[in-house]
Amino acid sequence: MYVQKLNGAALERPHSRMRGPRGRRFRSREGRARGAVLNMAAYLQWRRFVFFDRETVREPSGPDGAAPKPFALPPSIAVCDSGRGNLVFGDMEGQIWFLPRSLQLSSFQAYKLRVTHLYQLKQHSILVSIGEDEEGINPLVKVWNLEKRDGGNPLCTRIFPAIPGNKPTVVSCLTVHENLNFMAIGFADGSVVLTKGDITRDRHSKTQILHEGSYPVTGLAFRQSGKTTHLFVVTTENIQSYMLSVKDYPHLELDTHGCGLRCSSLSDPSQDLQFIVAGNECVYLYQPDERGPCFAFEGQKLIVHWYRGYLIIVSKDRKTSPKSEFAGNEAQNSDKQVLNIYDLCNKFIAYSSIFDDIVDVLAEWGSLYVLTRDGKIHVLQEKDTQTKLEMLFRKNLFEMAINLAKSHHLDSDGLSEIFRQYGDHLYNKGNHDGAIQQYIRTIGKLEPSYVIRKFLDAQRIHNLTAYLQMLHLQSLANADHTTLLLNCYTKLKDSSKLEEFIKTSESEVHFDVETAIKVLRQAGYYSHAVYLAEKHEHHEWYLKIQLEDIKNYQEALHYIGKLPFEQAEGNMKRYGKILMHHVPNETTELLKILCTDYHPSGGNECPGMLEGKKANSEEFIPIFANNSRELKAFLEHMTEVQADSPQGVYDTLLELRLQNWAHEQDEQTKEKLHNEALTLLKSGRFKTVFDKALVLCQMHNFKDGVLYLYEQGKLFQQIMHYHMQNEQYKKVIEVCELYGDQEACLWEQALSYFARKEENCKEYIAAVLKHIENKNLMPPLLVVQTLAHNSTATLSVIKDYLVNKLQKQSHQIEQDEQRIQKYREETTRIRLEIEELKASPKIFQKTKCSICTSALELPSVHFLCGHSFHQHCFESYSESDSECSTCMPENRKVMDMIRAQEQKRDLHDQFQHQLKCSNDGFSVVADYFGRGVFNKLTLITDLPSGKTATTIEAGLQRELLIHSKRST
């Protein structure tokens, strides 16, 4: 076997130090092996687990139900690989075998003699094989397309010789890049042949010798990082890295020791695609430009693979293994092989078992398949993550469970459960400090009450404080958690921690500020509570603490003055009474500013707000209860600087001035207050609230104010009654003289008033009677009846009044009789004229036209009124064919008067009003009687059939009205 020959090759190697990449010196393999012994103790401490289940692959069950037999591979299997859903084998007879998951084995003849190397690509259905068709050193490379068929066999797309030139040598290793653009073949003579281009076609690829040396090539691996491609080349004596993405393929020697065949592999991205080289003493990891970590694993290494984050090593253990669960019940001899699965990240052995003569280890279908020389296949199935974690939990290996869960990318819920179990374990052991650290890691997943309850019961306030702090830092605390944390601080009396907690910057606040303020206030930490309230603009809490707890009224008032307008207004309404009681002057000054032109003293107003805001001063009046002096100053200030202040301000100021006036004893001061109150009444601000001002003046017996308001309200009767109640006779007469023209009944009331007086009031009665006579305000009979109730009023008082009244009435009667006689004569004349028009012919004797005054010529137009016109003149100037153009203006005036009377016949309200207000009611009735209010006038234009002469005469009333002035 070629593999056995190469593994047995022993070449001399120098032991001197050699310079590595970047000018770094590397020790020889023996020197580094001695250094790796230092890590051996750590390796021996690696725990061993059984994270894989081992089974032997068996054939499918037969129809008879017998137990299935172990599956057996064909004999003489030499090489194998896996990928694309198959295990691929090559034997010493030139056949390539495919084993799918259904275990239906199939094969085809690939070479005439033997198959020496196989490489199955993982991302393409391409298989690359190397074998011999003739005896001797003549290996051929064949590329197979497994998706295409040629006579039932896979299609061979390319065949070419493997050796460089004609130099006979043995192929030692093979690798192919997954992008199908690179293929590298290593040889026993130390050379490496690189094929660049499409490896499936001869025309699109180029083959060249990449590396030459004196030591057999034992391993090759491509590493792709972005657009950069590297090829690792390992021999029995050194390790080199070639950069294939750069022209001329520069290379770098990484180390001065190598490894045997199949003892190198490339890790997955979880280990940053490092190249793994396993020597007999140590396992080394390499990057393209440097060496990585080193692990000391004992035993002669035979096979190395990388599988899902695990390093798989098959080694020959020359020591007698003690009886263990891995080695079986009997002691094993030295020719047994040990398969170890290492978790390099978490530093433990995931599985270890002994096999007989392992051919290779393959990975497919999510499992590992171990091929032994006896043709059996053993499957290693990895346990699920939860099972592995439970195994670790049973051994209380929580730290390892955490690392394992992270490497398996367990979700946060799963990790949180591990942290919780670990915390419970430490808590039960009494390690409260360690437990709280684990519980802190569960924040966000585990209910905080689970942890809080434990440490409250254990009275571990320090641990509880640490947990609550972290809960707040992650912004997951609620109001109860904040309360509990602050109570912990206060119970510990840790003022420094408390200040550190509450004095975080605004962007780092992780707690409910209002809850913190409440707790601090309750605990008596007023300064801390005030700091929080001021910093986070909880104005109500700030003021409440300052006023109710600290009693710092001056500071509270100053703070309100710095607030924006809306908040300052609201807080003054809420706390104004308290502030007014303790700092009245300062509070009054702030209210003056707030109600006139407010700007925050701290400059907290909105940008661009130049005009200040002002509050409604009327709403702050209740604040001044029991502070009349400050209230008066405030109200007077408002009326001076703000004339349009609310009416309530003026009402309150009036009441305040009247109170002061009523209670003042000093005459000079009382006079001054009297003038101030009267001036305020005369300011014109009480027109809309007349009744209220009047009530205030009456309550305080402010006579001048009452009379002024009566006068402004035109309550003349109330003015006179006021003087009557005070028996001020002259004032009564003065009121009648002043306002009698506006309200005539004042004289009548004055006469009644004096008539009821039993004392001598002849002088005042005479004055009243004189005015009544001049204005004809009362009938004489009513005057006599009124004065009849007065025992002091004799006939001499009204003698002159009655004589004058009778003389005027006699004169009026004479005038009325003369007017009646005149109207009778006029009526008789009009009736005669009507009769003449009815019975006598009308002779038209006009010789001139009434329009142009020229001689009258035919054709002409004549009217009964006596006017004649040329026809052409009448047609030119007349507006109607049936009316005389000369009489028409007068006739229209009469008709308009009739229509106006008809329209005013139904104005009963107006009639009643005029009748009530007029001094001569009879004339008003006569006027409306003449308008036809009391009878209905019917206008008749045409004579109906069957009417008598009397009816005809009544119907001519309208014509009488029209022609009433015609004779003049």
Higher pLDDT, 815 or 936: 815
Tell me the three-class secondary structure of 368-387, residue by residue: EEEEECCCEEEEEEECCHHH
Tell me the average pLDDT across 448-469. 81
Determine the Cα–Cα distance for residues 260 and 234; give it in Å rounded to an integer.
9
Higher pLDDT pick, 389 / 96 = 96
pLDDT in tens, 797-837: 566 666 777 777 788 888 888 888 888 888 888 888 888 77
pLDDT > 60? residue 947? no
What digits encode the pLDDT tens for the residues 301-318?
999 999 988 999 999 866
pLDDT tens figures, 147-156: 999 888 999 9
Asked which of 281-285, 594-598, 610-614 is least confident by mean pLDDT, the reply is 610-614
DSSP secondary structure code for residue 338 in this structure: E
Q: Are 654 and 673 in contact (CB under 8 A)?
A: no
The angle at the Cα of 178, spanning 174 to 184, to the nearest 5 degrees, equals 25
What pairs with residue 222 in β-bridges?
231
pLDDT(8) > 60: no
Q: What is the mean pLDDT of residues 172-188?
A: 94
Instruction: Give per-residue burial for 913-934: e unless 16+ CB within 10 Å, then b.
Output: ebeeeeeeeeebbeebeebebe
What is the rounded distance in angstroms from the CA atom of residue 173 to the CA atom of residue 195?
14
Residue 694 has what pLDDT? 67
pLDDT at 792: 56
Model confidence at 932, in pLDDT bands (50, 70, 90)?
low
> What pLDDT is stored for residue 808 in this prediction?
78
Which of 27-41, 89-103, 484-498, 714-728 has the largest mean confidence?
Answer: 89-103
pLDDT of residue 9: 32
Among the residue ranges 167-171, 343-347, 860-864, the one predicted with the least confidence is 860-864
* CA dihedral of residues 823, 828, 831, 832 (deg, nearest 10): -140
Is the pLDDT assigned to residue 31 strictly greater than 50? Answer: no
Q: Where are the alpha helices (DSSP H) in 395-478?
A: 398-407, 412-428, 432-440, 448-457, 461-473
Q: pLDDT value at position 502?
A: 72
Mean pLDDT for 514-531 is 80
Residue bearing tokens 């022209």: 247
What 8-state DSSP symbol labels residue 620? G
Q: Which residue has the higher pLDDT, 238 or 648?
A: 238
Q: What is the mean pLDDT of the chain?
A: 77
